[in-house]
Chains A and B, each alone.
Chain A
Amino acid sequence: MRMVLFAMLLSFSMGFDCRTDHGEVRPQIVGGMLTFGFGPSGWRTKSPSVNRISVFELDQRQRGRTVCSVNRLTRVGTVELAAWRYGERIEGFDLQGCGPLEIGRNYGVTVSGSYGSGVAFFVLERTGSVRKLGP
């Protein structure tokens, strides 16, 4: 009985994410601008609290050079962001790089925050659209 209870508790607790679940990141074109939409992850109901956004080159399916880095200046409290337009300054965040992206090149974006982190891969098309890569 004790072992059954232990197994139940173990599987129950291990079933929880323990911060490894993924938030949703949606690369999209809004008003002609590359915009990343953020959604809550898995079971979480709160909006994503964003502390850091990185856009990087994707080379041979590996993380390459970081071309844009957005870092929150403090980690006190939370800032909920539903979306971020590429290159746009956010109050309370430090922005580095974020120059023009190349059409036809593969990029990745990671978003990390207190209620789940997310990653997405994308390529900008000549037509002015953005195509999400991978699953």
Chain B
Amino acid sequence: MWDPDDQLSLLAHEMTHSVQWEQGPVSFAARYTGEWLWNGSDAYNVPKSMLGMTLDSSTVRAWNYTFDEIADYMAWQVAPSAGRVHLK
């Protein structure tokens, strides 16, 4: 019943986390928890500096962005018209 674009966007977001998770579950959980505690909801959305960045196995866990920013960047690329992500 949700907005279809939002569903697609959220799916892309969560699938990105699964790739991040696969590269090391323990470090993923530790870093994700830390990022969430430190940033709260500011951990989300897409920094303008990310635009043009290529996401692949080496950048999906880039240190200069939070896991959620990276996941939202993937969501942004998959469903740019979705309402759940904005550029910051």
Give the interface of A toward B (CB within 8 A): 2, 6, 9-10, 12-13, 16, 18-20, 44, 46, 49-52, 54, 62-63, 71-72, 75-78, 108, 110-115, 117, 119
Contact = CB atoms under 8 A, between A and B. Distances in A.
A62 B25 CA distance: 37
A118 to B, nearest CB: 10
Nearest to B76: A75
Contact of B86 (A20, A63, A76): A76
Closest 5 CB pairs of A and B: A112-B83, A52-B83, A51-B83, A9-B29, A110-B3
A74 B47 CA distance: 15
Contacts of A16: 36
Contact of A117 (B32, B76, B84): B84
A49 B26 CA distance: 33
Given A6-B26, A10-B29, A18-B17, A76 B3 contact: no
B29 A13 contact: yes
Given A71-B81, A117-B3, A46 B86 contact: no
Given A44-B41, A75-B86, A110 B6 contact: yes
Contacts of A119: 1-2
Contact of A114 (B2, B5, B85): B85
Contacts of A51: 83-84, 86
B73 interface: no
Interface in B27-73: 28-30, 32-33, 36, 41, 44-45, 48, 68
B82 interface: yes
Contacts of B80: 75
A52 B10 CA distance: 15
Contacts of A63: 1
A127 B26 CA distance: 58
28 contacts: A2-B26, A6-B25, A9-B30, A9-B33, A12-B33, A18-B13, A18-B68, A19-B10, A19-B44, A50-B83, A52-B3, A52-B6, A62-B1, A72-B83, A75-B80, A75-B86, A75-B87, A76-B48, A77-B88, A78-B86, A110-B3, A110-B6, A112-B5, A112-B6, A112-B83, A112-B84, A119-B1, A119-B2
